[in-house]
Chain A
Amino acid sequence: MTNIHQISIFLENRAGSLAEVTGMLAESGINLRALSIAESADYGVLRIIADDAEKATAALLEKGCVLSMTPVTVVSVPDEPAGLSEVLKLLAEGSVDIEYMYSLFTHQNAKAYMVFRVADEEKFRAVLSAHGIGLATKEELGLK
């Protein structure tokens, strides 16, 4: 299964810096599937899942952004009350260390998706497959 790549971009903590980046992506016709921001007092890290990661990376680099590519896993979470909570409980029991996570929206179907970045990917996938929890494919999410 091919990895889904997240693009992380360095952001200064000042008004307009996020708009600048999303503007660059819009200009290149990139569609965002997911987005999250982690921030400290002076700077932040913008994490995105773009429909075309390669094109997005090229566009951002050309504009002089500092970025990095990180493989992430998108989990198809049962779309029912406590669906996410169940998954997280299983991961905790399996001692999977989550570095960060955020949600991903899609209009293709009525499922709920969560983007995960974990310390030990192998262990993570083992826990998921042991409990029959599905991973999202690129096609399913409309990613190239």
Chain B
Amino acid sequence: MKRYYQPEIETASREQILAWQNERLVKQVHHVWENVPYYRKKMEEKGLTPEDIKGVADLHKLPFLTKDDLREAYPYGLMGKPLKDCVRIQSTSGTTGKRVVAFYTQKDIDLWEDCCARAIVAVGGTEEDVCQVCYGYGLFTGGPGLNGGSHKVGCLTLPMSSGNTDRQLQFMTDLEATIICCTPSYAAYLAESIHERGLRDQIKLKAGIFGAEAWSEEMRRDVEKSLGIRAYDIYGLTEISGPGVAFECEEQTGMHINEDHFIAEIIDPNTGEVLPEGEKGELVFTCITKEAFPLLRYRTRDICVLSRKKCSCGRTHVKMSKPMGRSDDMLIIKGVNVFPSQIETVLLEQGYQANYQIIVDRVNNSDTLEVQVEMTAENFSDSLSKIGEMEKQLVGALKAMLGIYAKVKLVAPKTIARSEGKAVRIIDKRKI
């Protein structure tokens, strides 16, 4: 059985990987300098020219990019190729409601799908397998990414998209799916439904690739036990490409980053200093092969640790731990990025105060979001039905902004503590 999708790359020597990175980084910096005025200006402000970057050792000199830059440059400001060379966009929510739109050339999609194919082969996927993809298809990268990877491996691909549990289970049993790709919370939900319906004997799954939200080792063991599979983590973000930036191997002790495409750094989120290997800090990515959306030193806001310890799987690429938190206040709810600032924007638009509380919980393996907001004189009425209408309007506006349902709870004025800190605003009751 094939152990690697691209063995010569995935098991290359460290020297070889570094040589690729040096060569590709130099080339990419030139590409960005020539084609992305937004970044060129950032380099010029630091007194840099492409000649200053001779290899990975000089990477730390380059300016960072953040979600704020994506917002400022929206939609075309960070493109490295003219639109006529682009074939696809994918998108995710941004900090203040403006969405992040990432562009892809056909080559970008090809390389991205290679990364996803590596992840599928790493969990034992071959052309004999039936791969059920229940991530959302569309603007979300989850469905399209794993779908493409599954094609490359040669699996029979079931492009299910998310939701509709009855249909998921019908295809899973009738077509004998062996690999499933979805969020870990949906996997747990499916496992429960399978047991409730007594379908356990008809399930042929052997592995699951679960990403797009945080999950614990305990949850991994639960899902593995209840479905009789091995459960693997996968990491990615739209800005960098999508799922498959990093993926877990059979050792299940961290995710190999595809270093031939992405250079990873860990920095101190406060100072921006690069931290030595093994230290916990913010993960930063530099794309060295992407054409259409070539982000350099993009700050992910995910806090994690890198390790270059030899892995028993034979892969030589660096491993990242599961993200342990965020250096900003982004929440991932039902796999969707939610920023408190988005909720704030909606509240102000609807005539409420920016004083609110967000309560996130996980009920029956599904995330719930409640927004508590103080009633204002402007929105108050002697008529219960009018208040109900206002409430419904707020729920609708939140859904439009966030893409997910939020329960609204109107509370009496001055009952939510005034605070500058995010800790009081967000109560995350999920045990992850």
Let me know if B412 and A38 touch, CB within 8 A: no
Chain A, range 42-100, C-beta contacts under 8 Å to B: 42-45, 47, 64-68, 70, 99-100
* Bound-complex Cα distance A43 to B386 (A): 13
What residues on A are CB-neighbors of B376 within 8 Å? 66
- Beta-carbon contact of A10 and B382 below 8 Å: no
Contact B383 A99 (CB under 8 A): yes
- A-chain residues with CB within 8 Å of residue B382 when the two chains form the complex: 6, 8, 45, 47, 68, 70, 117
Residues A12 and B415 in contact in the complex (CB < 8 Å), given A40-B388, A43-B375, A66-B375? yes
Q: A122 CB to closest chain B CB, in angstroms? A: 19
Specify which of A39, A66, A117 is in contact with B377 (CB 8 Å cutoff).
A66
- Inter-chain contact B412/A17, CB cutoff 8 Å: yes
Give residues of chain B (373-404) contacting chain A, Cβ–Cβ below 8 Å: 375-377, 380-384, 387-388
A10 x B412 contact (CB < 8 A): yes
Pairwise interchain contact A43-B410, C-beta atoms closer than 8 A: yes
Asked if B225 lies at the interface with its beta carbon under 8 angstroms from chain A, I say: no
- In the complex, chain A residues whose CB is within 8 Å of the CB of B375: 10, 43, 66
CA distance A97 to B72 in the complex (A): 53
**What's the minimum C-beta distance from A65 to chain B, rounded to whole angstroms?**
7
Q: Would you call B75 an interface residue if the criterion is a C-beta within 8 Å of the partner chain's C-beta atoms?
A: no
Q: Which of B381, B411, B413, B414 contacts A8 (CB 8 A)?
A: B381
A42 touches B409 (CB 8 A): yes
Against A, the Cβ 8 Å flags (1 = close, 0 = not) of B150-180 are 0000000000000000000000000000000
Q: Number of contacting residues on A, CB 8 A?
A: 23
* Chain A residue at minimal CB-CB distance from B381: A68
Task: Given A47-B382, A99-B383, decide whether A66 and B388 contact each other with a Cβ distance below 8 A.
Answer: no
Contacts of A12 in B (CB 8 A): 411-412, 415
- Could you tell me the distance between the alpha carbons of A66 and B414 in the complex, rounded to whole angstroms? 10
Within 8 A of B (CB), among A23-39: 38-39
**Bound Cα distance from A1 to B376, whole angstroms:** 31
Which chain B residues border A39 with CB–CB below 8 Å? 384
B411 cross-chain contacts in A, Cβ below 8 A? 12, 43
Q: Is A42 touching B410 in the complex (CB atoms < 8 A)?
A: yes
**Are B380 and A64 in contact, with the CB atoms below 8 A?**
no
A117 to B411 Cα, complex, angstroms: 25
A104 CB within 8 Å of chain B? no
The residue on B at minimum CB distance from A99 is B383
Chain B nearest CB from A112 CB (Å) reads 23
Q: Which residue of A lies closest to B379 (CB)?
A: A66
Given A66-B375, A66-B376, the answer on whether A40 and B384 have CB atoms closer than 8 Å is: yes
Q: Which of A1-25 contact B (CB under 8 A)?
A: 6, 8, 10-12, 17
- Please name all residues of chain B whose beta carbon is closer than 8 Å to the beta carbon of A42 when the two chains form the complex: 409-410
Residues of A within 8 A of B414 (CB): 64
C-alpha gap A70/B414 in the complex (Å): 24
* Contact call B380/A43, Cβ cutoff below 8 A: no
Query: Which residue from chain B places its CB closest to the CB of A72 in the assembled complex?
Result: B382
- List residues of chain A with CB within 8 A of the CB of B412: 10-12, 17, 65-66
Complex Cα distance, B387 from A17, in Å, reads 18
CB-CB < 8 A to B388: which residues of A?
Answer: 40
Assembly CA distance A80 to B399 (angstroms): 53
Chain A, residue nearest B414 (CB): A64
Q: How far is the CA of A62 from the CA of B412 in the complex (A)?
A: 14
- Shortest C-beta distance, A58 to chain B (Å), equals 14
Q: Complex Cα distance A137/B200, Å?
A: 75
CB distance from B388 to the nearest CB of A (A): 7
What are the residues of chain B within 8 A of A67 when measuring CB–CB?
377, 380
Closest to A42 in B: B409
Considering only residues 63-93 of chain B, those with a C-beta below 8 Å from chain A are: none
By the criterion CB–CB under 8 Å, are B387 and A43 in contact? yes
Residues A68 and B380 in contact, CB atoms below 8 Å apart:
yes
Q: Name the interface residues of B404-430: CB closer than 8 Å to any CB of A.
A: 409-415
Asked if A45 meets B415 with Cβ closer than 8 Å, knowing A6-B382, A66-B375, A67-B380, the reply is no
Contacts of A100 in B (CB 8 A): 383
B379, chain A: closest CB distance, angstroms:
9
Assembled-state Cα–Cα distance A43/B412 (Å): 9
- Complex Cα distance, B376 from A99, in Å, reads 22
Q: Give CA–CA (A53, B332) in the complex, Å.
A: 49
B374 (CB) vs chain A CBs: closest residue = A66
Asked, given contacts A10-B412, A66-B412, A70-B382, whether A45 binds B377 with beta carbons under 8 Å apart, the answer is no
- For A44, the closest partner residue in chain B by CB is B384
Distance of A99 from chain B, by nearest CB (Å) = 6
Q: Which of A42, A44, A117 has the most CB of B within 10 A?
A: A42
Given contacts A43-B387, A43-B410, A66-B380, 4 further A-B contacts (CB under 8 A): A44-B384, A45-B382, A47-B382, A68-B382
Residues of A within 8 A of B (CB): 6, 8, 10-12, 17, 38-40, 42-45, 47, 64-68, 70, 99-100, 117
Closest 10 A/B residue pairs (Cβ): A8-B382, A38-B384, A70-B382, A10-B375, A12-B412, A66-B375, A66-B380, A64-B414, A43-B410, A64-B413
- Can you list 13 A-B pairs with a CB-CB distance of less than 8 A? A10-B413, A11-B412, A12-B412, A42-B409, A45-B381, A45-B382, A45-B383, A47-B382, A66-B377, A66-B412, A66-B413, A68-B377, A117-B382
